[in-house]
């Protein structure tokens, strides 16, 4: 998997393909390649490279090739190491067909053995190359039909694009479980796995659904299912702007996105709160509101940062509603013997809306008859389409692989959903009004922390020599400790563990010495005194402690080595405030180390394989 971009139209495809790849770099990748055809003379440019898109660009610039249609790809290795042979596009024995693919062909070994018996020669270790040879094997006189027949033979997931020298001015794209979006311009089409790849050129898009295929040529778009039944689709207009993908003077996208969080909170709540009644209004949930109000149990399923948002959401829902609330890793959810009924609800949380494990979890929940809701950022994403109802974050594009603003948006919106249910199931108007009032102050509280960024930067610099960190918190702040540790290891490659502070004495405390600092979330609340006890246990073992504490708490300075102060809010919202300094600490720590912060090694923004 990783990024797909295709172009067909009147312009030279090469600059558009290269720019598209660069705009997909944030998704994470290890190699890249492109294939373009000049239909006037039949010439083909087929180039691949290991490493950054810049390496591919150097190779392309050494030619004077111009072709008005082509395909390009950034690869994140699943089958085979990062090599030029394993990079996409892949070709067939004739060297005339070129194919790019996101996803996994699960039965590729069986297909490969059969194709080898027929005389096909393979040059890579990938599963994708099997599909290229399969199309070659099925090709008679119709390119689209050969693609369709081949896709019917594979098991697994795919988002593909293919071109063929003998069938000029055609690009065939298809999807099953891996996104393909088609941008519609003036006398041109741009297909990609992510709208960021082409938002500069058009904001009119069509989303392919699973088991749909599209034929793009110079002036026509034909969409069918895999049985060749034609499908009519109207373009949608997306509201992301090209400028939103720019750094705007920030050194990295991640830092820009951290600073965008006051606006992210405002976007999450705009038009969704009625302070005088202490209620929330979520139009995306209204069609199934009666069913929501009859739920007995609710389960959050998600991965990575979104899992920690769900874990925080569990505490919020238990506080504001009478629901029985659970949290599951989406990657483990469907392997359990699930006791799901129509009275159960499952909330799929995903930034991209394409996370393969989360999709698999929600599909399993639907099979069992449960109500399935979505909390995603990307409009038109697969999770948004497959859930019964849901809520969008409206946070705009998040380019940094390590999520920051989407996490905060998810946490805020989980409060809104819990408030929606709680106010109809026993939560008092007073409690509702207090929560709404404090939610409206969140953006200002975040601004106050951002004003202290220089102090956090200096603390991060001080702890650069250390290679191990423990993050601890209690109750609502336990998920924030987990998220803070994840941020540090994601972008700095330093070992960090998030732990419930009460569990520290049951194992992790054995790690503590003068070389193993702890980040302790010790803001005001009913667990504060217990957190101080945990901190003293660490100090008794010569451990260094950085505390996140409430403004005005001068006493904690006598107990810890460094303090980052945050504004005080009600306890249910305090974790949203507390995560901001942890994001900044991780960012500055990684920046001092010289890490590739926006594109950390081995990680991808949208994980579309299980």
Helix (H) or strand (E) holding 328: strand 324-329
Examine the domain organization and report whether 250 and 238 are in the same domain: no
Q: In angstroms, rounded to a whole number, what is the distance separating the alpha carbons of residues 86 and 105?
A: 15
Q: Is the pLDDT of residue 269 over 60?
A: yes
Q: In angstroms, rounded to a whole number, what is the distance separating the alpha carbons of residues 257 and 350?
A: 17
Four-CA torsion 250, 256, 259, 263, nearest 10 degrees: 130
pLDDT of the residue at 240: 63
Q: Does the residue 604 lie in any domain?
A: no
Q: Does the residue 225 lie in any domain?
A: yes
Task: Count CB-CB contacts under 10 A for residue 114.
Answer: 15
Examine the domain organization and report whether 76 and 172 are in the same domain: yes
CATH code of 125's domain: 3.60.20.10
Tell me the β-bridge partners of 299: 326, 346
Examine the domain organization and report whether 314 and 409 are in the same domain: yes
Coil, helix or strand at residue 346: strand
Percent residues over pLDDT 70 in the chain: 96
Examine the domain organization and report whether 490 and 392 are in the same domain: no
pLDDT grade for 605, boundaries at 50, 70 and 90: low
Pair of tokens at residue 461: 């610099």
Task: Count CB-CB contacts under 10 A for residue 125.
Answer: 13
Examine the domain organization and report whether 231 and 319 are in the same domain: no
pLDDT of the residue at 467: 94
Contact partners, residue 540, CB within 8 Å, separation at least 6: none
Q: Is the pLDDT of residue 141 over 90?
A: no
- What's the total number of domains in the chain? 3
Q: Is the pLDDT of residue 487 over 90?
A: yes
Q: In angstroms, rounded to a whole number, what is the distance separating the alpha carbons of residues 338 and 189?
A: 44
**What are the tens digits of pLDDT across the range 249-258?**
889 999 999 9
**What are the tens digits of pLDDT across the range 41-85?**
888 899 988 888 888 888 888 788 888 899 999 887 776 687 888
pLDDT of the residue at 219: 79
Per-residue burial over 79-92, b if 16 or more Cβ lie within 10 Å, else e, is bbeebebbbbbbbb
Tell me the β-bridge partners of 301: 328, 348
Active site amino acids: 2, 605
Q: Does the residue 609 lie in any domain?
A: no
Contact partners, residue 100, CB within 8 Å, separation at least 6: 4, 33, 71, 72, 73, 88, 89, 90, 128, 160, 161, 162
Examine the domain organization and report whether 431 and 497 are in the same domain: no
Helix (H) or strand (E) holding 57: helix 53-61
Per residue, what are the HEC states of 477-503? HHHHHHHHHHHHHHHHCCEEEEEEHHH
Select from 395, 413, 440 the last residue of a domain: 440
Instruction: Verify cis geometry, omega within 30 degrees of 0, for the bond prior to 89.
Output: yes
Examine the domain organization and report whether 77 and 204 are in the same domain: yes
Per residue, what are the HEC states of 542-564? CCCEEEEEECCCCHHHHCCCEEE
304: left (phi over 0), alpha (psi -120 to 50) or beta: left
Q: Does the residue 603 lie in any domain?
A: no
Q: In angstroms, rounded to a whole number, what is the distance separating the alpha carbons of residues 153 and 122?
A: 19
Q: Does the residue 607 lie in any domain?
A: no
Examine the domain organization and report whether 349 and 454 are in the same domain: no
pLDDT of the residue at 28: 62
With tokens 């006598």, the residue in question is 558
pLDDT of the residue at 583: 97
Four-CA torsion 93, 99, 103, 109, nearest 10 degrees: -10
User: Which residue range forms the structural domain that includes residue 578?
Assistant: 448-596
Q: At what angle do helices 304-320 and 405-422 cross, to 10 degrees?
A: 20
Examine the domain organization and report whether 77 and 208 are in the same domain: yes
Average pLDDT over every residue of 132-140: 94
Q: In angstroms, rounded to a whole number, what is the distance separating the alpha carbons of residues 191 and 206?
A: 9
Select from 201, 216, 244 the last residue of a domain: 244
**What are the tens digits of pLDDT across the range 452-477?**
999 999 999 999 999 999 999 999 99
Examine the domain organization and report whether 199 and 99 are in the same domain: yes
pLDDT of the residue at 301: 94
Looking at per-residue confidence, does 115 or 381 come out higher?
115
Q: Is the pLDDT of residue 404 over 90?
A: yes
Distances (CA, A) of 147 to 214, 221, 326, 406: 11, 16, 43, 37
**What are the tens digits of pLDDT across the range 502-523?**
887 788 787 888 888 999 999 9
Average pLDDT over every residue of 97-124: 92
Beta strands 188-192 and 2-8 are: antiparallel
DSSP 568: -
Q: Is the pLDDT of residue 607 over 80?
A: no
Nearest residue to 447 via CA among 183, 266, 249: 266
Task: Count CB-CB contacts under 10 A for residue 379.
Answer: 17
pLDDT of the residue at 178: 84
Distances (CA, A) of 482 to 99, 135, 506, 538, 600: 40, 46, 17, 18, 19
Pair of tokens at residue 280: 């929330």
Distances (CA, A) of 173 to 158, 193, 217: 10, 11, 11
pLDDT of the residue at 60: 87
Q: Does the residue 610 lie in any domain?
A: no
Q: In angstroms, rounded to a whole number, what is the distance separating the alpha carbons of residues 62 and 41?
A: 20
pLDDT grade for 26, boundaries at 50, 70 and 90: low
Q: Does the residue 413 lie in any domain?
A: yes
Examine the domain organization and report whether 71 and 191 are in the same domain: yes
pLDDT, mean over the chain: 90
Q: Does the residue 379 lie in any domain?
A: yes
DSSP 209: P
Distances (CA, A) of 264 to 235, 248, 397, 442, 559: 27, 16, 11, 10, 35
Coil, helix or strand at residue 223: strand
pLDDT grade for 195, boundaries at 50, 70 and 90: confident
pLDDT of the residue at 122: 93
pLDDT of the residue at 112: 92
Pair of tokens at residue 418: 């819990």
Q: Is the pLDDT of residue 244 over 70?
A: no
pLDDT of the residue at 241: 58
CATH code of 433's domain: 3.40.50.10490
Tell me the β-bridge partners of 376: 350, 392
Pair of tokens at residue 432: 């509702």
Examine the domain organization and report whether 275 and 213 are in the same domain: no
Average pLDDT over every residue of 124-152: 92
Per-residue burial over 583-596, b if 16 or more Cβ lie within 10 Å, else e, is bbbbbbbbbeeebe
Select from 424, 440, 456 the last residue of a domain: 440
pLDDT of the residue at 576: 97
């Amino acid at each position: 998997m990783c990024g797909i971009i295709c172009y067909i139209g009147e312009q030279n495809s090469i600059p558009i393909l290269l720019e598209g790849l660069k705009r997909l770099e944030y998704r994470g990748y290890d190699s890249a390649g492109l294939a373009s055809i000049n239909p006037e003379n039949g010439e083909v440019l087929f180039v691949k490279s290991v490493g950054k898109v810049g390496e591919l660009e150097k190779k392309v610039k050494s030619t004077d090739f111009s072709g008005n249609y082509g395909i390009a790809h950034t690869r994140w290795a699943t089958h085979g190491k990062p090599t030029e042979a394993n990079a996409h596009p892949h070709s067939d024995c004739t060297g005339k067909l070129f194919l790019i693919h996101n996803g996994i062909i699960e039965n590729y070994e069986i297909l490969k053995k059969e194709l080898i018996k027929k005389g096909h020669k393979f040059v890579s270790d990938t599963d994708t190359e099997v599909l290229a040879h399969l199309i070659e094997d099925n090709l008679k006189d119709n390119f689209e039909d050969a693609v369709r027949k081949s896709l019917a033979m594979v098991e697994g997931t795919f988002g593909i694009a293919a071109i063929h020298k003998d069938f000029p001015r055609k690009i065939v794209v298809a999807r099953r479980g891996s996104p393909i979006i088609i941008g519609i311009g003036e006398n041109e089409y741009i297909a990609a796995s992510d709208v960021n790849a082409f938002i500069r050129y058009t904001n009119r898009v069509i989303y392919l659904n699973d088991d749909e295929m599209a034929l793009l040529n110079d002036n026509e778009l034909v969409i069918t299912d895999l049985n060749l039944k034609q499908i009519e689709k109207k373009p949608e207009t997306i509201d992301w702007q090209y400028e939103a993908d720019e750094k705007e003077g920030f050194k990295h996208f991640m830092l820009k996105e951290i600073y965008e969080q006051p606006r992210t909170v405002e976007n999450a709540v705009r038009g969704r709160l009625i302070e005088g009644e202490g209620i929330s209004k979520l139009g995306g949930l209204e069609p199934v509101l009666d069913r929501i109000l009859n739920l007995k149990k609710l389960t959050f399923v998600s991965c990575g940062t979104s899992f920690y948002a769900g874990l925080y959401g569990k505490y919020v829902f238990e506080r504001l509603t009478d629901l029985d609330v659970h949290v599951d890793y989406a990657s483990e959810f469907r392997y359990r013997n699930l006791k799901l009924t129509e009275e159960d609800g499952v909330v799929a949380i995903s930034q991209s809306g394409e996370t393969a494990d989360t999709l698999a979890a929600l599909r399993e929940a639907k099979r069992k008859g449960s109500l399935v809701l979505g909390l995603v950022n990307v409009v038109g994403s697969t999770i948004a389409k497959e859930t019964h109802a849901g809520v969008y974050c409206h946070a705009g594009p998040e380019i940094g692989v390590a999520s920051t603003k989407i996490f905060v948006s998810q946490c805020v919106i989980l409060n809104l959903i819990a408030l929606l249910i709680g106010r109809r199931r026993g939560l008092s108007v007073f409690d509702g009004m207090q929560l709404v009032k404090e939610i409206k102050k969140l953006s200002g509280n975040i601004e106050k922390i951002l004003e202290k960024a220089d102090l956090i930067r200096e603390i991060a610099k001080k702890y650069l020599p250390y290679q191990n960190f423990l993050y601890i918190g209690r109750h609502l702040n336990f998920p924030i400790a987990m998220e803070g540790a994840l941020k540090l290891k994601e972008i700095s490659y330093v070992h960090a563990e998030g732990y419930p502070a009460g569990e520290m004495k049951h194992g992790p405390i054995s790690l503590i010495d003068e070389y193993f600092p702890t980040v302790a979330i010790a803001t005001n609340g009913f667990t504060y005194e217990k957190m101080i006890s945990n901190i003293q246990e660490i100090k008794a073992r010569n451990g260094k402690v950085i505390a996140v504490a409430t403004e005005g708490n001068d006493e904690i300075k006598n107990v810890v080595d460094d303090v980052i102060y945050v504004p005080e809010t009600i306890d249910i919202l305090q974790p949203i405030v507390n995560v901001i300094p942890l994001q900044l600490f991780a960012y500055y720590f990684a920046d001092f180390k010289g890490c590739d912060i926006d594109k950390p090694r081995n990680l991808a923004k949208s994980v579309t394989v299980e």
